[in-house]
Structure 1
């Protein structure tokens, strides 16, 4: 069955959604230990969260890139995730969505969250023909994410290394079995109606 071109796929429960981020050990290890982001985590900067494990692996090079050696699975409340989508605008100007560039620029200034659609990745981190959501959180959204929405933080760095090892050995079936089970997110249709170019 063909994947929709732009769809939110994530590990989710009745109350939470799992997103991924990668940090240096100075940020990642205290976050894992305390189950929340430490004071050193910059709440005034934009932070990007990714519901796609493989897109995160592409971004952090299987936890090998400098400053991205610790991969976090961050469980956040669905209410917070949906608030972020409801208050989002696209990260770039799209003629089919925005009447003009000036309207989009006003939206970007006003919105605490940004949506970006990037090619989803396969186990070899090659681009697939459909796209994956990245959600940028700034200002109020970043603070809420760190201090209100976060339910749990788990270290998935060992999982990243294990899957990468299987991919390197050519055992893609075993690698695939270890991947987090990402499913279409149910409320996304209505929330994303104005966020698809």
Structure 2
């Protein structure tokens, strides 16, 4: 088994990278809906990609804001690194050049989940817009092809976005160099056995009502 790599840049805690192929073939579920994430007892890491103007402000101030960031617009977070790579083209798409690893409190993340509704359920319940929009999308192979497994993404707005951007965020780290290095060294050449990605495991939602609400269980 490949040796895990660790980087203490995230709030002084280890950000663990492991072999993609070993996780994909031996650890991660093959299908179904799963929240895959790197987390510990206190925090969970989510990913976002922004323009350099927004990203640089977030790194400098360790919170989201500044003249280019709008709290009046929905902002999407993803727990799954490879979904973020698909969405941002490995940090190559316009205004997604800066890939951020955002460490937030587990309490904050669980609060986000407790408010999450799909667009269909918003209409069905007739309560207006939820502060958190839920989507289950196909997870993706590093080459961009879709998988049977579903990955979660969460659109934050209003008070929940404000709390995420300031209150719940404990560390914001620029991981763009790691993303670009892995893409250049291993993704372009399709050397999947050499590719490193963050260590991710299934995040278990223990509250049955929330698990049903976000469609993890029937």
TM-score (norm 2): 0.80
Contact 1:70 1:157 in 2 (8 A): yes
Match of 1:182 in 2: 200
Q: Which runs of 5+ in 1 are unaligned?
A: none
1:189 is displaced (CA, Å) by 6.3
Match for 1:17 among 44, 49, 55?
44
Work out the CA distance in 2 between the residues paired with 1:195 and 1:149: 21
Report 1:1-197 matches (<5 A): 2-40=29-67, 41-91=69-119, 93=120, 102-104=123-125, 106-107=126-127, 109-165=128-184, 166-175=186-195, 178-187=196-205, 190=208, 191-196=210-215
User: Runs (4+) of structure 1 moved beyond 6 Å?
Assistant: none
Larger proportion of strand: 2
Work out the CA distance in 2 between the residues paired with 1:57 and 1:189: 30
Q: Which runs of 5+ in 2 are unaligned?
A: 1-25
1:188 is displaced (CA, Å) by 5.7
The two structures, once aligned, show a CA RMSD in angstroms of: 1.8
Work out the CA distance in 2 between the residues paired with 1:87 and 1:188: 15
What secondary structure, in the 3-state scheme, does the structure 1 residue paired with 2:85 have?
A: helix
Matched pairs, number: 186
Work out the CA distance in 2 between the residues paired with 1:172 and 1:102: 42
